[in-house]
């Protein structure tokens, strides 16, 4: 199963790269598929590439749902099956 997740850009680097916040973890990703990404933007991340920008309100809703699932143990049960 493939999963693309919303992440917030915290730093835009040189050469089409950015640093994003992934639930408190900082990760370098590629912006090669997008133009005009700025600090504070939310993007959909899949296998290290930002695929599209995302409305901040929608990103926050999705992240809140992921947090609820993790809290309920649903994400761990899905990953183990």
- Torsion angle defined by CA atoms of residues 75, 48, 55 and 40, in that order, rounded to the nearest 10 degrees: 110
CA distance 16 to 55: 21
Q: CA 50 to CA 52: how far, in whole Å?
A: 6
Q: What's the pLDDT at 4?
A: 87
CB atoms < 10 A from the CB of 4, how many? 15
Structure tokens at 21: 């916040």
pLDDT attached to residue 81:
46
Domain boundaries, the chain: 5-76
Q: For residues 28 and 50, what is the distance between their CA atoms, to the nearest angstrom?
A: 11
pTM: 0.81
Strands (E), the chain: 5-12, 17-22, 25-30, 42-46, 49-54
The CATH architecture to which 5-76 belongs is Roll (2.30)
pLDDT (tens digit, 0 to 9) for every residue of the chain, 81 residues total? Answer: 568 899 999 999 988 999 999 888 999 999 999 989 999 999 999 999 999 999 999 999 988 988 888 888 866 555 444
Q: For position 74, what pLDDT does the model report?
A: 63
């Amino acid at each position: 199963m493939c999963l693309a997740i919303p992440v917030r850009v915290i730093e835009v680097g040189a050469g089409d790269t950015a640093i994003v916040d992934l639930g408190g973890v900082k990760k370098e990703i590629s912006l090669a598929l997008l133009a005009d990404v700025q600090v504070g933007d939310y993007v959909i991340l899949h296998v290290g590439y930002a695929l599209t920008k995302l409305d901040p309100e929608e990103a926050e809703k999705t992240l809140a749902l992921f947090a609820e699932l993790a809290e309920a143990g649903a994400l761990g049960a899905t990953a183990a099956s």
